[in-house]
Amino acid sequence: MKRLSLLVVILFLSHSLIFAQEKGEKLPYKQWEIGVNVGVSNFAGSTIVSKSEFLKGFNNFKGDMNFGYGLLVKKNFTSVFALEGAYNGTSLTGTPKSGFAYKAFKTDINEFDLNTVWNMNNLFSKNKFDRKIYWYTKLGVGVTNVNNKEFTHATVQNAWRYWTLPVGTGLVFRITDNVRLDLGTQLSWVNSNRLDGTNQFTLTSANPNGYLIGQVREKYFYTHAGLNFMLGKKPAKPAPVVEAPKPQPKPEPKPEPKPAPPAPPKHVIPACVGQIFKVYFAFDKWDLNSSSIAELDRLAKDMKENPSVDLEMKSHTDSRGPASYNMKLSEKRGKSVLDYLTAKGISSSRINAQAFGETQLVNKCKDGVRCKEAEHALNRRTETLVIE
pLDDT of residue 269: 81
- The average pLDDT across 267-289 equals 87
Q: What integer best gives the mean pLDDT of the chain?
A: 83
Ranges 207-211, 271-275, 344-348, 361-365: which has the least confidence: 207-211
Cα distances (Å, whole numbers) of residue 145 to 59, 62, 113, 216, 321? 21, 22, 12, 17, 115
Cα 216 to Cα 199: distance, rounded to the nearest angstrom:
10
Cα distances (Å, whole numbers) of residue 43 to 12, 51, 87, 166? 27, 24, 18, 14
- The average pLDDT across 146-156 equals 73
- The average pLDDT across 76-87 equals 92
pLDDT of residue 234: 61
pLDDT of residue 214: 62
pLDDT of residue 358: 92
b/e burial code for range 30-54 (CB count within 10 A of at least 16 → b): beebebebebebbbbbbbbeeeeee
**In a 3-state reduction of DSSP, which class is residue 57?**
strand
Give the distance between the most distant pair of CA atoms in the chain: 135
Cα distances (Å, whole numbers) of residue 52 to 72, 211, 258, 313? 39, 11, 99, 102
**In a 3-state reduction of DSSP, which class is residue 312?**
strand
b/e burial code for range 194-218 (CB count within 10 A of at least 16 → b): bbbbbbebeeeeeeeeebeeebbbb
Cα distances (Å, whole numbers) of residue 344 to 300, 301, 341, 387? 7, 9, 5, 19
Contact 109, 89 (CB under 8 A): yes
Contact 65, 108 (CB under 8 A): no
Cα 220 to chain centroid distance, Å, stands at 39
Ranges 165-169, 179-183, 201-205, 353-357: which has the least confidence: 201-205
* Stronger pLDDT, 131 or 268, i.e. the higher one: 131
Cα 44 to chain centroid distance, Å, stands at 39
| Residue 9 half-sphere exposure toward CB, CA atoms < 13 A | 6
- At residue 205 the predicted structure's pLDDT band, cuts being 50, 70 and 90, is very low
257 pLDDT higher than 50:
yes
pLDDT of residue 100: 73
223 pLDDT higher than 50:
yes
pTM over 0.75: no
Cα 320 to Cα 315: distance, rounded to the nearest angstrom:
15
pLDDT 10s digits, 53-63: 777 777 878 88
Domains and CATH numbers, the chain: 2-231 (2.40.160.20), 276-387 (3.30.1330.60)
